[in-house]
Structure formats: structure tokens, C-alpha cells
Amino acid sequence: MRRLLGTLVTLLLLGTLVAATPTAHASRMPSKRTWQAQNAKIMRGSVTWLRERVESRHPTEKLAINLDIDNTSLASYYAPGKPVRPTLRLARVADSLGVKVLFNTARPEKGKRKAVRELRRAGFPVYGICARAKGLSVVEGKQDCRARFRKRGYTLVVNVGNRPTDFEGGGFEKRYKLRSYGGRLS
């Protein structure tokens, strides 16, 4: 009887462990609320900075902001299809000030039209989108897209992204880096 009880307890404990495993993994990811609060904090001041930059612009300058898409503009992990609010706010202010809103994504080129639909549905003004050309790494693709924007005459005044690869190589004035949680957010 005692042995049977012992076995039962062991089985119960094992069952608890097995059941806990997936949630234990998920719980290592910060909550959506934490992520949103962190985004708001990181983006604080971005609208003011943009307004001031626009006020001091040279009349010949064509200003634009460069936005990463996944987990920067669209909440791809925490709320698929929904916008990242502080980024959307910045994009709308940019639009109202005549600053073009350009998207720079490591998604492959064949996904561009779908991305534009998703962005518009989430409320973003979309003036341009550049996706990663075949054969380029993520960093190279991001740099290539910024170079293409600049070649079209744009000064990239703000770059918003959530991974280090969104910023490598420069070519913009001000950066706002949201979280990737050690690369777990694309």
C-alpha cells in the first residue's frame, strides 16, 4: 500500500512537471502589458523630437522616417495584425507634418504586398516599403533598403526598430530601439 502511494505521488509530481513545462517556457517571455509599457517608455519624446526636427529642416530636405515592421510597427508576436501604438502615433504625426513614412523589412520581397495590406489595416500611412533582396543577410538587407531610400533623396531622421540589425551601418539621425528580448522577437 505504502509503495502504491509512493508511486502515485511520484506520478502526480511527474504529471505536474510535464504540465508545467510549456507554460514555464512561455512565462520567460515578458507579458504583453510589460512589453507595451516598455515600448511607451522607449518612444517617449519621439514625437517632440520629430516636431523639432521638422521645424529646423532645411527647405530642400525631404524628410522621412524608417520603420521596421515586425514587433516595431506591427505587434506580430503579442497581438498579430495590431499596431504597436507608440510607433503608429509617431507615423501619424510624421504624416501630418509632411514627413514620409517608409518601411524597411527583412521579410522577403514576395511578401511586400501582404505587408502593405497589414500595415494599412493597422492604420499606418505607407509611402514606401523596402524588403530584403534575394541573397542578402538581414543586416545587409536593412542597410540596402536605407541606402535605397537615401538614393531617392530622403533624409532618414528617425529609425525605429527592435533588433540590433535594424541599426547597424547608420544612415539615419535618431534611433529608437524597442525590445527583442535577446532576439526572441523578430
Contacts of 148 (CB under 8 A, 6+ apart): 130
Q: Which residues contact 168 (CB under 8 A, 6 or more apart)?
A: 139, 142, 143
Q: CB of 163: closest distance to Mg ion in angstroms? A: 5
**Number of residues in contact with Mg ion, rule: CB under 5 A?**
5
Q: Which is nearer to Mg ion, 22 or 182 (CB)?
A: 182
Which CB atom, from 68 or from 118, has the smaller least distance to Mg ion?
68
- Comparison of 107 and 150: residue with beta carbon closer to Mg ion: 107
Q: Determine, following the binding rule CB under 5 A, whether residue 118 of this chain makes contact with Mg ion.
A: no
- Binding characters for Mg ion, 70-99, by CB under 5 A (x = yes): xxx---------------------------
Ordered DSSP codes for 7-62:
HHHHHHHHHHHHHHHHHHHHHTSPPHHHHHHHHHHHHTTHHHHHHHHHHT--TT-E
Cell of 3: 509503495
What is the footprint of Mg ion within residues 145-184 (CB under 5 A)? 162
For residues 173 and 156, what is the distance between their CA atoms, to the nearest angstrom?
7
Taking the least distance from each CB to Mg ion, the nearer of 63 and 75 is 75
Write the interaction track for Mg ion spanning residues 27-66; mark x where CB under 5 A is met and - where it is not.
----------------------------------------
